[in-house]
Amino acid sequence: MNTVLSAQDISRALSRIAHEICEGNNGAKSITLLGIPTRGAHLAFRLAALIESIEGSAVQVGTLDTTLFRDDLRLKAPRALMPTRIPSLGIEGRNVVLVDDVLFSGRTIRAALDALGDIGRPSRVQLATLVDRGHRELPIRADFVGKNIPTSLSQNVKVNLVEIDGIDEVTIAEKVSA
Amino acid sequence: MKHLLSIADISRLDAIKILDTAEELAKVSDTPMKKLPTLRGRTIVNLFAEDSTRTRISFETAAKRLSADVINFSSKGSSLSKGESLKDTAQTLQAMGADAVIIRHGASGAPARLADCQWMSGAVINAGDGTHEHPSQALLDAFTIRRHLGQGREDLTGLRVGIVGDVLHSRVARSNVLLLTKLGAHVTLIAPPTLLPVGVESWPVSVSYDFDSVLESLDVVMMLRVQLERMQELFFPNAREYSRYFGLNSARLQTLHPDAIVMHPGPMNRGLEITADSADSARSVILEQVSNGVSVRMAILYLLLAGDTSIEAGN
Amino acid sequence: MTQVSENILLKSGTLADGSVKDVLIADGVIHSVGDSLNPGDARIVSAEGHIVLSGLVDLHTHVREPGREDSETVLSGSQAGVKGGYVALSAMANTSPVADTAGVVEQVYRLGKEAGLLDVFPIGAVTQGIEGKVLAEIGAMADSLARVRVFSDDGNCVSDPLVMRRALEYVKKFNGVIAQHAQEPALTVGSQMNEGIVSATLGLKGWPAVAEEAIIARDVLLAEHVGARLHICHLTTAGGVEIIRWAKARGISVTAEVTPHHLLLTDELARSYDPIFKVNPPLRTERDVMALRQGLADGTIDIVATDHAPHPGESKECEWQEAAFGMLGLEHALSIVSQTMVETGLLDWAGVQDRMSTAPAKIAGYSEHGRELAVGAPAHLTVINPKAPYRVDRDSLASKSRNTPFHGMEFTAQVVATLFHGRIVFGKDRFL
């Protein structure tokens, strides 16, 4: 198992992404950050705090669970639903920035776009991800990336966050065959 | 969990999972689309051998909100009423490719027979079988109680629930006793001795023949429907005596503590087990039970049909 | 199976009293019983390690002919009977038409003779149409070719106390006996299973023990009052055993039977809602089962009777409430009695011979049966291998029906041969 991002790497990456989001949206007023549970949600809250300290005002932030829109539900055991919390100004006419920890096949983001569509009509949707590990199966790309990490399909990428895993760290390991 | 036949088969954690899932799904009705693609392509059959508009519509709404295809097979005018056997009906449904059958039937155990015999392979959901159980009703009742009195807890620990009326013939009572106690509530059954089953001593509940003596201690009063036919079967002398001792009227309503709520699975006999003003009072959550029913039933359908239930959940 | 009577020497079988003896059968009767008998021209068959009893007699069988030949006929019932070691069956009267006239009982009697595998003794109805209101032509049935001595409305209870009194008195004329199906109708309207903890949970209407016991209590007192014999069918409750015990202690002329399924199964089985376990009177609790075994052991219960009740598939492949009441019993009765009574030490083989052959024959007056291998008696024998484990398979039954609750169960003792008038009417392995 290799560590590809340390706690400090993660901190710098998030700081940079926070600046890029503000830059790309002319400030924070029109932005609604929506983190995809579980770890994407924590990252979204961290980004919101960072943007707030940059811009000096509170940022709209919430969570968007994609479980009900997945295309692979049938293949696994029934999944518990995670919370969807849309912040006070909603998404209608807003610049939504989806936040996730790892961008891989792109199917989660496809589901997130469908979920958004059921709630309303954002002005635009962007994607921020901590890690892009390649191997897209759909035409989806990220607007803001923490780190591009080329991987093989035989590997697992694990993002650990202090809020859940007790440590900030991104690791890669070979899959153990079942 | 492949079927939902009885609350006895659900663990405490599964029950809480259903309630939590229902909380999330309740938000769907607040969105403009009100529809999710999750069960697209699934065929769900409503097999209602007993009349019931309310439960059938609730399940149908739940299924449609998840984009499932719904086929209604109700007692009037169907082959069921012409004497087609349960077995033949089940084999027909299997041939039609039903992924799930929601069955309401007058015979206790009919859903269990459908699930056990190899007549069909879909999921079986018990929407009320004879006097045995009505699991989705108990789940929506628990969901309603938790919203009002749960104070952020995941279960119902410490809450005192009184179930009043014809317990002997009530599938709602049986399911509720099982679920409420499973979730940590304390249940008291209040009824005349004739309407309590022999064997109730073995249930994890208290029993009282005196409604007035327990009223003040209750957080929830759940009134059961009493059928007037029971008078012919000598369970109580007449309607007047029944209402006098076991009806929920304004005087009894005043005795309840300020946060207590009043529930009824419906349909109500206004004037028999519950007076009109009690049913319409501010403490009554009866209409909410109905709307919560859709969310809870959506949760049941989602958990039974969306995933592959042969795999143990492990995420 | 042999159709022609041949001479047979059963060598070294273990008799009811535990002794190992040879039994020589010639011309359809028991010729001699002793050690190292000279076979003469008899076929020698080794019965070593096997139990040899006088042929089993069933006092409670539903052969469904006339009227429901789709579920069983006299012939198929006879085939099932001999497979279970029976040489005599008593055909209950709740057929269609009801056996309440000489004509119907003679028809059943003749069908039994034609089948030729065992004796079929028709039971006559107590009341016309078994409706419980007016006495049937009891005298005519007694005088008929069938010579009926046992009368029963089984399926229904003779619930009117006046009708029961008159019936008890009437059969004294020819030393007949009324066999009562004890079930107070008013307390069991729509009842589905034993009333208790299980029925309360399952939402199935209960059949309380008191509905059976109240009738038994009433009838033993009636029998005492009019000085008549009384027989209680399918006893199922601990309370019923106590009432019979009390009545016998008082000198009342009452006898009682228990079914194999009530010696083995409890109402817990209903939890599956599988109506293979639906029967009338219903399966009761563990406490009742233990009391019944004890009652059979100490003789309070006189006999085992099967209440063999065949039903076609559609009557059991449905929801509980729609299903018919009844279970098959002939083919596994002996195995069950062995498991519940002999293997538990409650009864020895002499006791089994008494409860399943001698006593039933005596109650019903079947003089040619239950004679315990007496020299000169007709050679009606049941040969049992006490150590031949097998699993019950509902698809390999001799009965026309499949409704056995014992499917998949394992038993140790098995009937391997049944001899009727010296002919092997059923035989397995070396007894073929």
List pLDDT tens digits, range B96-125.
889 999 999 999 999 999 998 778 889 999
Q: Is the pLDDT of residue B228 over 90?
A: no
Q: How far out from the chain centre does Cα B194 lie?
A: 23
Structure tokens at B3: 């079927």
C-alpha C222/C-alpha C228 separation (Å) is: 8
Q: What is the mean pLDDT of residues B48-64?
A: 91
C-alpha B29/C-alpha B18 separation (Å) is: 17
What does CATH list as the number for C54-364? 3.20.20.140
Question: The tokens 């006339």 sit on which residue?
Answer: C66
Which residues of chain B make contact with A76, given a CB cutoff of 8 A?
Answer: 307-308, 311, 315
The domain limits of chain B are: 7-133+293-305, 135-290
Pick B214 or B77 by higher pLDDT.
Answer: B214
C-alpha C348/C-alpha B161 separation (Å) is: 56
C-alpha B129/C-alpha B171 separation (Å) is: 7
Write out pLDDT tens, residues C214-257. Answer: 999 999 999 999 999 999 999 999 999 999 999 999 999 999 99
Write out pLDDT tens, residues C138-157. Answer: 999 999 999 999 999 999 99
Could you write out the DSSP letters of every residue in B27-90? GGGGSSS---STTTT-EEEEEESS--HHHHHHHHHHHHHTT-EEEEEESTTSTTTTT--HHHHH
- Chain B closest-CA separation from residue A112 CA (Å): 12
pLDDT given at position B82: 55
Under the banding of pLDDT at 50, 70 and 90, the label for residue B266 is: confident
Task: Output the pTM of the full model.
Answer: 0.90
Question: Is residue C276 a contact partner of residue C403, using CB atoms and an 8 Å limit?
Answer: yes
Enumerate residues 191 to 210 of chain C having a beta carbon within 8 A of any beta carbon in chain B: 195-204, 206, 208
**Backbone φ and ψ of A71, nearest 5°:** -100, 5
Q: Is the pLDDT of residue B306 over 80?
A: yes
CB contact under 8 A, B36 and A65: no
What does CATH list as the number for C8-52+377-431? 2.30.40.10
CB contact under 8 A, A84 and B37: no
Least reliable range by pLDDT among B67-71, B306-310, C133-137: B306-310
C-alpha C215/C-alpha C235 separation (Å) is: 12
Task: List all chains that touch chain A, counting a touch as 3 or more CB pairs closer than 8 Å.
Answer: B
C-alpha C98/C-alpha C120 separation (Å) is: 16
Least reliable range by pLDDT among A157-166, B44-53, B173-182, C372-381: B44-53
Chain B residues whose C-beta is within 8 A of a chain A C-beta are 17, 20-21, 24-25, 27, 31-33, 35-38, 302-304, 306-309, 311-315
The domain limits of chain A are: 2-72+81-174
Enumerate residues 287 to 326 of chain C having a beta carbon within 8 A of any beta carbon in chain B: 314, 317-322
Which residues of chain B make contact with A119, given a CB cutoff of 8 A?
Answer: 31-33
The fold for domain A2-72+81-174 equals Rossmann fold (3.40.50)
Q: Is the pLDDT of residue B52 over 90?
A: no
Q: Is the pLDDT of residue B312 over 70?
A: no
- Residue of chain B nearest A121, judged by CA positions: B32
A63 touches chain B (CB under 8 A): no
Which residues of chain C make contact with B132, given a CB cutoff of 8 A?
Answer: 202-204
Question: Among partner residues B17, B25, B37, which is closest to A80 by beta-carbon distance?
Answer: B17
Interchain touch B–C (≥3 Cβ pairs closer than 8 Å): yes
pLDDT given at position B27: 82
**Mean pLDDT for chain B overall:** 90
Question: Among partner residues A77, A82, A114, which is closest to B37 by beta-carbon distance?
Answer: A114
Question: The tokens 């009282």 sit on which residue?
Answer: B208
Residue among C90, C63, C95, C96 at smallest CA distance from C147 = C90
Reported as type and span, the H/E element at residue C179 is: strand C177-180
The domain limits of chain C are: 8-52+377-431, 54-364
Which residues of chain B make contact with C319, given a CB cutoff of 8 A?
Answer: 86, 105, 107, 109-110, 113
Tens place of pLDDT per residue across chain C (432 aa): 445 668 999 999 999 999 999 999 999 999 999 999 999 999 999 999 999 999 999 999 999 999 999 999 999 999 999 999 999 999 999 999 999 999 999 999 999 999 999 999 999 999 999 999 999 999 999 999 999 999 999 999 999 999 999 999 999 999 999 999 999 999 999 999 999 999 999 999 999 999 999 999 999 999 999 999 999 999 999 999 999 999 999 999 999 999 999 999 999 999 999 999 999 999 999 999 999 999 999 999 999 999 999 999 989 988 999 999 999 999 999 999 999 999 999 999 999 999 999 999 999 999 999 999 999 999 999 999 999 999 999 999 999 999 999 999 999 999 999 999 999 999 998 787
Q: How far out from the chain centre does Cα C248 lie?
A: 22
CB contact under 8 A, C321 and B108: yes
Under the banding of pLDDT at 50, 70 and 90, the label for residue B307 is: confident
Same fold, B7-133+293-305 and B135-290: yes
Least reliable range by pLDDT among A40-54, B45-59, B252-266, C139-153: B45-59
Pick B28 or C223 by higher pLDDT.
Answer: C223
pLDDT given at position B315: 37
**Mean pLDDT for chain C overall:** 96
Right CATH number for B135-290 from 3.20.20.20, 1.10.357.10, 3.40.50.300, 3.40.50.1370? 3.40.50.1370
Enumerate residues 273 to 292 of chain C having a beta carbon within 8 A of any beta carbon in chain B: 273-274
Catalytically annotated residues of C: 307
Q: Which segments of chain A have a pLDDT < 50?
A: none
pLDDT given at position B314: 42
Under the banding of pLDDT at 50, 70 and 90, the label for residue B76 is: low
Q: Is the pLDDT of residue B175 over 90?
A: yes
Residue of C187, C201, C271 to mutate, interface with B, max B Cβ within 10 Å: C201
CB contact under 8 A, B308 and A77: yes
Q: Is the pLDDT of residue B3 over 90?
A: yes
Q: Return the DSSP state at C44.
A: E
Does domain B7-133+293-305 fall into CATH 3.40.50.1370? yes
Burial of C126 (0-12, 13-18, 19+ CB in 10 A): buried
- As a three-state string, the secondary structure of B95-158 is HCCCCEEEEEECCCCHHHHHHHCCCCCCEEEEEEECCCECHHHHHHHHHHHHHHHCCCCCCCCC
3-state secondary structure of A5: strand
pLDDT given at position B85: 80
C-alpha A131/C-alpha A142 separation (Å) is: 10
pLDDT given at position A75: 85
